[in-house]
Amino acid sequence: MKRITEEQKVQINELYYENHNKSLTARILGISPASVSKYIIEGYVPKAKRAEETCEIEAKGVSVYLNDIVENVEENFLKICCLSKEEKAELEKLQSQLYC
Per-domain residue ranges of the chain: 6-48, 57-98
Amino acid in position 46: P
Higher pLDDT, 100 or 41: 41
Rama region for 89: left / alpha / beta (φ>0; ψ in -120 to 50; rest): alpha
- b/e for 33-63, b at 16 or more Cβ within 10 A? eebbeebeeeeeeeeeeeeeeeeeeeeeeee
Total-model pTM: 0.50
**Per-residue pLDDT tens digits for 17-68:** 999 999 999 999 999 999 999 999 998 888 888 775 555 555 556 677 677 6
Q: Is the pLDDT of residue 76 over 70?
A: no
Compute the C-alpha angle 13/16/18, nearest 5°. 110
